[in-house]
Structure formats: structure tokens, C-alpha cells
Amino acid sequence: MWIKFFRLRPTAIILACILVLVAISTFVFFKDEVKPTVSVGQLQEVLSRSAPESAQLGPELEKSILERIEKGQHTFRYDTFGDEAFWGDTLKLHRAIAGEKLGGVGPGVSPKEALAVGLKVDAEALPKNLVKDLKARKVNLDDPASTLVLLENDAVVGLTGFFDKKGNLSSIGIQCALCHSTVDDSFAPGIGKRLDGWANRDLNVGAIISLAPNLQVIADRLGVDVATVKKVLASWGPGKYDAVLLMDGKGFAPDGKSAAVLLPPIFSLSGINLHTWTGWGSLVHWNAYVANTQMRGKGTFFDPRLNNPSKYPIAVKTGDWNIRNKPDLITPKLADLHVFQLALTAPPAPKNSYDKKAAQRGEKLFNEKAKCAQCHVPPVFSEPGWNMHTPEEMGIDAFQADRSPDNRYRTSPLNGLWTHQKGGFFHDGRFADLKEVIEFYNTTFKLNLTEREKNDLAEYLKSI
């Protein structure tokens, strides 16, 4: 009878195995022993012991998943989608990086200056002799020539240098990793192993773009002069970018503050409906939007909502709501890029980075009195389904929401919150720390939290 039962119900066995793995991984996570992830290999191993052969993950599926993740990672880290035609050939950013002595213009950009504007160096991409010289301080970090050496070794996270036969920097392109990766600083500040999916809150995108010798093309698009373009770029500051400026031309909010928003992390997005602060679309939609309209790669992008002359006059003028390039260097890579991004999990909070007993009390508050879990539903910490709210529901201004097609703000997921506290909270960093966020909600929603409860809630948020 029992044999017959198991033969008829392989799905039940699989679900039971998965639940056991999740329970074990969750328990171990709180013990701070391993990362809170269940790999394909672990799942395969348990299924091989507990489930019928027909219900197991086959080697073809496992190989396919791993290959797609690897391809997606390569795209995320190294693919420019042909955008060097814009950043190099048009803006001529490479000439500013190289400097006059190296065939460019101006003084050039040294490694020290590159690190100062938030660019990161992948220590694992450096050849052993260069690592040795860096440790011995034999590399001149004030010399732009050293920056070219880093570019030649594909060591600058998010940037690819193109060199001619004579070894001169002839163009430059950018990747997804520029804004959504950092390093662990294990070698030196700004130099270390890559941390894919983390928000680079040190990156001053505006300052980097301002270096380009030819900003006239951006000025012409916006219908302003170059001085105004530089003023807008200077207003962003570290960790911020405005992905709507080239669509609506709004460089500043009505109160005079920058219209740029914080760079978000892109880990733990599996199970999350919409991707951006204001919910433009799914992760796949935003990948296509950014790769085509912001990175200026050569692909295909279609969003008829942008064909709105009153709301997005520049998108209408330039045709950016309906982009068609042949060959298409973006679309064939979106699927594997998506798989890779969905595989990125939030890193667990470091040991001793929060008060565990206070966090346990804070978790109860999060789910009950503070009412956080009504929107930030564990374990995805966003709403399953339509995770969007009006500005009135959130008690904040509508400026950034009104720049989006649906005029709303997304319930941002909270996993890995400890990794992106720099720069503040909410879409524009208006709240400096978690205590300010909690006080805002306490006042807005009349939660009547005590000072101890506010502190406990903050400790829990740091632990997620």
C-alpha cells in the first residue's frame, strides 16, 4: 500500500524534499554558518535519495540551468551591446580617460581618480605580476597610463576599453555591472572580488559622463546648452542616476533638487513583480529599456507608453519608444541575463552587525504592530501580485511617480537591506538612515511605536 502511495504521488515527495531543504537552509542561515541558498546540486542530491527516478532533475536540465546562468553572468559583466559607438565614438569618453600624453585630451584619469568617482577594480582579473607590483607600491596610481593597464586587463568593473593595433585606447563601452556591482575591498578600498547585483552607491555617474569631450549630442537631445547638461550631471552625486531624463527632459524636481534616484541592488528579485522604484515594468522590460535607451546599445525596444508627447516629449522626438537595430546585439542575450539576475540572492548580514535579540523582537513588530508586513510580505518582502502604491497611500510627493507610466511607487523588496544603506532610503535618499524611515512611518500611519520598539525594528531590518 505504501509503495503504491509513493508511486502515485512523486510530486508530494518533491515538495516535501524542497520544504526540508528550505527549512534546513533557513535554520543554518540563522546560525550564520552558510549562505541561505539551495543550489541545483543540493536539490538533485536530495531528490536522488528520496524521489522516484522519473521525478528527479535530469543532468540535461541541471547543465542547461548552469550554462544559462554563466552566459547571463558574462553578459552582465562584459557585454557592451555595441554601446562603444556612443560612449567612445560619439561622446569620446575614452579620450578624456587616456589624457593628452596618451593620445587623448586633458590630463587623463588616473587610477586614484577613477576610484575616487566610485569605479571599482576586479582584483581577480589582474595578472600576478601586476598584483605583486601593486602590493609593492611599484604602480603609480596617479598616472593615467596605469588606468589603461587596468582596462587592458578587463579589470575595471563595468568598463571595457578597446585598443588599436598600436596599443592606443580607441574607444570605450559600459556594461550592466557598472552600476549594479561593487567589490569586497579585500585587496584595497575599491579593489577586490566582484559582488554582482550590489548597488554601487559610490559611483558618481554624472561626474564620469561630464568628462566626455563631446556632450553636445546630449545637449542637442535635451534642447539645452552644454553648461546646463553639466549642471544636471553635477547634481546627481554618488550612487544616483536619472534613467528618465532622456525621455522627459526633467533634470530637477519642482523644489530644485536633483531628479536622479538611487541606484538599486538587483539581487533577490525572483518572485518580485516590478523592478524599478516607480514600477516601469518587469526585470526583462527594464533590461531592454536600459540597454537600448541608457547604455545606448544596439538592439530592439518597444514601449508605446513612451509615445506620449506631453509626458515624454524627447522619447517621441527621438523615436526611443520604438527602437529597431540590425543586427540586434541585445535581444538574443536578454533571456540568459534574466536567468542570471534571478539567481542572485541577497547576502546574509555579517555577524555582529546587528543586535540579534533586538532583531527578534523587531521581527514580531514588523509582522504585527508596525504593520510593515502588510506590504513587505515575507519572504520576498514586497507584495505578491501588483506591488504598486499611489503617492497618497505612501504619504509622499508625486514627482518621481508621475514620471513613470503608472504614476505610482513600487513596494521595494528588503532582502539585503544592510548592503545599500549608503546614500539614504526611499527612491531619492530623502531619509538618511533607518531610524528616519521608521519615524516617518510611525508618524504617517500613527503606529505609536516606543523608542525601544523603533530601535528593535531597525535592528531587524538590518538583519534581513
Q: What's the CATH number where 418 sits?
A: 1.10.760.10
Element (H, E) at 27: helix 10-30
| CA angle at 261 for the pair 274 and 301, rounded to the nearest 5° | 50
Residue 105, C-alpha cell as written in the block: 585630451
- Domain membership flag for residue 79: no
Q: Are residues 130 and 181 in the same domain?
A: yes
For residue 59, the model assigns a pLDDT of 77
Residue of 59, 52, 62 lying closest to 12 (CA atoms):
52
Q: CA–CA separation, 114 vs 92, rounded Å?
A: 17
Q: Residue 364 forms beta bridges with which residues?
A: none
Q: Which of 178, 203, 228 delimits the end of a domain? A: 203
Alpha-carbon span 334 to 341, nearest angstrom: 10
Chosen domain end from 153, 178, 203: 203
What is residue 62's predicted lDDT score, i.e. its pLDDT? 74
Q: Which domain holds residue 386?
A: 356-463
Half-sphere exposure of 325 (CA within 13 A, CB side): 20
Say how far apart CA 433 and CA 423 lie, in whole Å.
9
Number of CB atoms found within 10 A of residue 244's CB: 24
What H or E segment, with its residue span, contains residue 160? Answer: strand 159-163
Question: Among 265, 261, 442, which residue's Cα sits nearest to residue 369?
Answer: 442
Helices within 160-199 (DSSP H only): 177-180
Question: Which parts of the chain have pLDDT scores under 70?
Answer: 1-57
Does residue 18 sit within a domain?
A: yes
pTM comes to 0.86
Same domain, 110 and 43: no
* Residue 63 confidence (pLDDT): 76
> Could you count the other beta carbons within 10 Å of the beta carbon of residue 99?
21
Per DSSP, the three-state class of 65 is helix
pLDDT at 53: 57
Q: At which of 170, 203, 236 does a domain end?
A: 203
In degrees to the nearest 10, what's the CA dihedral of 419, 423, 428, 434? 70
Residue 347 resides in a domain: no
pLDDT for res 58: 76
pLDDT score for 381 = 97
**How far is the C-alpha of 270 from the C-alpha of 275, rounded, in Å?**
10
Is residue 147 a part of any domain in this protein?
Answer: yes
What is the rounded distance in angstroms from the CA atom of residue 160 to the CA atom of residue 77?
Answer: 10
* CA separation for the pair 123, 63 (Å, rounded): 29
Whether residue 415 lies inside any domain: the answer is yes
Residue 304: predicted pLDDT: 98
Helix ranges (DSSP H) in 40-176: 40-50, 59-78, 84, 93-98, 111-116, 128-135, 144-152
Kindly state whether residues 7 and 109 are assigned to the same domain: no
- Give the largest CA-CA distance in the chain: 83
Is 372 domain-assigned? yes
Write down the pLDDT at residue 129: 93
**Is-contact 88 94, C-beta < 8 A?**
yes
Three-state DSSP class for 155?
Answer: coil
How far is 464 from 78, CA to CA, in rounded Å?
30
By C-alpha distance, which of 434, 429, 426, 430 is closest to 463?
434
In 3D space, the residue among 268, 253, 215, 237 whose CA is nearest the CA of residue 37 turns out to be 268
Residues 104 and 42 placed together within one structural domain of the fold: no
> Are β-strands 261-262 and 240-241 bridged in parallel, bridged antiparallel, or unpaired?
antiparallel
148: amino acid identity, one letter: L
| Domain assignment present for 315 | no
Pairing of strands 322-324, 300-302: antiparallel
Whole-angstrom distance, CA of residue 182 vs CA of residue 157: 8
The pLDDT, as a whole number, for residue 152 is 96
The verdict on residue 313 lying in a domain is: no
- In order of 112, 283, 393, the CA distances from 389 in angstroms are 43, 18, 6
As for how many domains the chain has, the answer is 3
Q: Is 406 found in the same domain as 456?
A: yes
Q: Go through the chain and tell me how many residues it has.
A: 464
Tell me how far apart the alpha carbons of residues 272 and 379 are, in angstroms, rounded to a whole number: 11
pLDDT at 33: 40
pLDDT of residue 187: 96
Residues 194 and 115 in one domain: yes
Three-state DSSP at 304 gives: helix
The set of cell numbers assigned to 147 is 588606468
Q: Which of 206, 268, 261, 208 is nearest to 419 (CA)?
A: 268
User: Tell me, what's the pLDDT at 215?
Assistant: 98
